[in-house]
């Protein structure tokens, strides 16, 4: 296996670079479906220094549309201005990961990967297909296969091998990241010493599948989608934006939307018009428009479908008996945490997971008015839980 480094020195070298994108070429990945995905590349970033015995490695798993930049970093001396700016920009779990934070990058060697199927450097639908698939090097597009959560973990295990990491001191993730963390603990129980599953569950529920289907159809019914082979023409940003609106409603709580927006109209817009299609917007509609526009500007529609299908595939007990039987192989420490206002991943689903784990595992609670997104927002609470449970001093 070869590791191709983008933008700096490789992990474990004398030169420390934090938050700089890199890419590992891990070769062929055999998927659960039997499809063999060739020439797979995984994008990742690291923070901190890997101990000589590899004992201080922490894997952070991103959520549905996340990327590898979990925290700000620093590029090596001599890096380009663009590399320095990218490294120094704030990450999506800023405050939880970094020097002196709960996941202290002066102590832990932190790795964050981009899931296979994503669009932040890992092999995905927008990546050029290899010559034996497409001699012209066109994007995978509609030919990209289904990648399950379990498949994504196998890919990350190959990356860990390449980085010289035999086991993780901690694997942590929220939402889809939590599903990936849980799958790691079951698929590779000897390689996970502690696992933190935040705002996630043991398997995607019927309601979560229903929300997923609605988002997928929003993209597929965009006239510019063209069955997934749209890269030589207009992008299906309307469908992608609608998918994001649907998803974002589930990410926030009803109380938060009420208190932030209520029924107020957007400034200088009149919500009582002469006909429904010509009225102005309520503030909550403007908010959803903004969220849709942001995602459409940074994400690929096919990748949204790919990772959404990955999340819909989540069932840690698939092919492993009952949930209790599936989890019985694990021997790591656990943190299971739910957001009390979450209406997408209900706290009672975290209760089911905690009850099925071996030993006496309790479900912890993040108190937040923000709904599911509380796992990203309430970093002081989550950091405190980590230090009290899976990252406590010996």
Residues with catalytic roles = 175, 342, 372
Q: Are strands 170-174 and 57-61 parallel, antiparallel or unpaired?
A: parallel
User: From its phi and psi, is residue 197 left (phi > 0), alpha (psi between -120 and 50) or beta?
Assistant: beta
Quote the CA–CA distance of 182 and 204 in Å, as a whole number: 13
Give the 3-state DSSP-derived string for 305-340, with helices as H, strands as E and coil as C: HHHHHHHHCCECCCCCCCHHHHHCCCCCEEEEEEEC
Say if CB 361 and CB 390 are below 8 A apart. Answer: no
Pure H helices in the chain: 81-88, 149-163, 176-187, 206-220, 237-251, 254-261, 283-296, 301-312, 323-327, 347-356, 374-377, 379-388
What dihedral angle (degrees, nearest 10) is formed by the CA atoms of 155, 157, 162, 166? Answer: 180
235 contacts: CB under 8 Å, gap ≥ 6: 224, 296, 301
Give the residue among 65, 69, 64, 18 at the shortest CA–CA distance from 43: 69
> What is each CA distance from 206 to 179, 211, 305, 316, in whole angstroms?
16, 9, 18, 15
Give phi and psi for 355, each to the nearest 5.
Answer: -65, -30
Closest by Cα among 49, 304, 297 to 163: 49
């Amino acid at each position: 296996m070869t590791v191709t480094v983008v933008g700096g020195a490789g992990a474990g070298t004398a030169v420390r670079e934090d938050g700089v994108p890199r890419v590992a070429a891990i070769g062929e990945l055999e998927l659960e479906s039997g499809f063999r995905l060739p020439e797979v590349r995984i994008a990742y970033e690291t923070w901190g220094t890997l101990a000589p015995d590899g004992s201080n490695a922490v894997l952070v798993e991103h959520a549905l549309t996340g990327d590898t930049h979990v925290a700000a970093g620093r590029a090596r001396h001599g890096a380009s201005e663009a590399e320095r700016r990218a490294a120094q920009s704030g990450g999506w779990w800023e405050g939880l990961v970094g020097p002196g934070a709960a996941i202290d990058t002066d102590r832990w060697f932190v790795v964050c990967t981009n899931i296979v199927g994503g669009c932040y450097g890992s092999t995905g639908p927008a990546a050029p297909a290899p010559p034996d698939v497409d001699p012209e090097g066109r994007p995978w597009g509609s030919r990209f296969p289904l990648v399950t959560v379990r498949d994504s973990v196998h890919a990350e295990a190959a990356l860990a091998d390449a980085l010289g990491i035999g086991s993780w001191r901690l694997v942590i993730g929220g939402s889809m990241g939590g599903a990936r963390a849980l799958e790691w603990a079951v698929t590779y129980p000897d390689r996970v010493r502690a696992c933190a599953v935040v705002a996630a569950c043991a398997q995607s529920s019927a309601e979560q599948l229903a929300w997923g289907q609605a988002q997928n159809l929003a993209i597929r019914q965009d006239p510019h989608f063209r069955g997934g082979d749209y890269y030589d023409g207009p992008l299906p940003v309307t469908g992608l934006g609608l998918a994001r609106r649907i998803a974002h409603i589930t990410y926030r709580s009803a109380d938060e939307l009420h208190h932030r927006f209520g029924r107020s109209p957007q400034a200088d817009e009149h919500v009582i018009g002469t006909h429904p299609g010509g009225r102005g917007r309520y503030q909550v509609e403007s908010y959803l428009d903004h969220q849709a526009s942001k995602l459409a500007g940074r994400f690929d529609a096919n990748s949204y479908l790919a990772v959404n299908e990955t999340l819909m595939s989540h069932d840690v007990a698939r092919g492993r008996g009952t949930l209790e039987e599936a989890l019985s192989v694990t021997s790591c420490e656990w943190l299971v945490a739910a957001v009390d206002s979450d209406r997408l991943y209900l706290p009672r689903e975290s209760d089911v997971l905690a009850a099925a784990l071996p030993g006496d595992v309790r479900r912890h609670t993040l108190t937040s008015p923000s709904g599911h997104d509380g796992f990203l927002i309430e970093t002081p609470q989550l950091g405190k839980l980590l230090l009290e449970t899976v990252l406590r001093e010996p």
